[in-house]
Amino acid sequence: MKRISLTMVRKDLLNIPKYRLPAGFRIRLFRKGDEHNWARIEASVDEFSNEDSALKHFNKEFGPHIDEMTKRCVFIENENGEEIGTATAWYGDLKGDGEISGRIHWVGIVPEYQGRKLSKPLLSAAMNLLGRHHSKAYLTSQTTSFQAVNMYLNYGFEPFITSHSCYEAWSLLKDTLNREILDKNG
């Protein structure tokens, strides 16, 4: 599938779906020193070429805000206490107009644990954290992450059209996911 970047918005943070983790797993907040766990997870899902580049990115983006990460980043731990998934309930200026919105950011589950019903509880935990600080949210993704995009649609996120390429992206996703995404006007 052609990789096209896309943005999605959720107009409110009410009625966030609830999902329980399977037995043996738990969600916990980020602790100082977890940047290495974050880097390992994000490198494992090919967001970065290796853990070193992931760690450099982490330090650039989140290093100055490490205290906020302890309130905004979650991990899933397996039965052995190993971190195997992460999501961040961050924030940003979606439209470039100075209005800050919540942002679901850097969601990842190591490949060996994908398909074990962990993504929905992880996303719910991150969205509940967002709801403590914000009234609406956005996220960025890409067409090649169509399974995640399908989950985001099920969580009430909608397409945010920023350019002509967005229509191509959502048309590809409509066909791949076999579901209506844009209404007749969009």
Task: Kindly tell me if the per-residue pLDDT of 186 is higher than 80.
Answer: no
Exposure letters 129-149 (e unless 16+ CB within 10 A, then b): bbbeebebbbbebebebeebb
Among the listed residues 78, 76, 160, 83, the one whose alpha carbon sits nearest the alpha carbon of residue 126: 76
CA distance 143 to 141: 7
CA distance 105 to 90: 6
The pLDDT assigned to 160 comes to 97
The pLDDT assigned to 106 comes to 97
The pLDDT assigned to 183 comes to 72
Task: Kindly tell me if the per-residue pLDDT of 184 is higher than 80.
Answer: no
CA distance 4 to 56: 25
pTM given for the model: 0.95
Mind listing the pLDDT tens digit for each residue in 123-156?
999 999 999 999 999 999 999 999 999 999 999 9
Task: Kindly tell me if the per-residue pLDDT of 182 is higher than 90.
Answer: no
Whether the Cβ atoms of residue 143 and residue 154 lie closer than 8 Å to each other: no
CA distance 125 to 85: 12
CA distance 99 to 108: 27
CA atoms lying within 13 Å on the CB side of residue 135: 1
Edge-to-edge strand list for the sheet holding 5-10:
26-29, 73-77, 83-92, 101-109, 137-142, 5-10, 158-160
Average pLDDT taken over every residue of the chain? 96
Mind listing the pLDDT tens digit for each residue in 40-69?
999 999 999 999 999 999 999 999 999 999
CA distance 108 to 76: 10
CA distance 57 to 67: 17
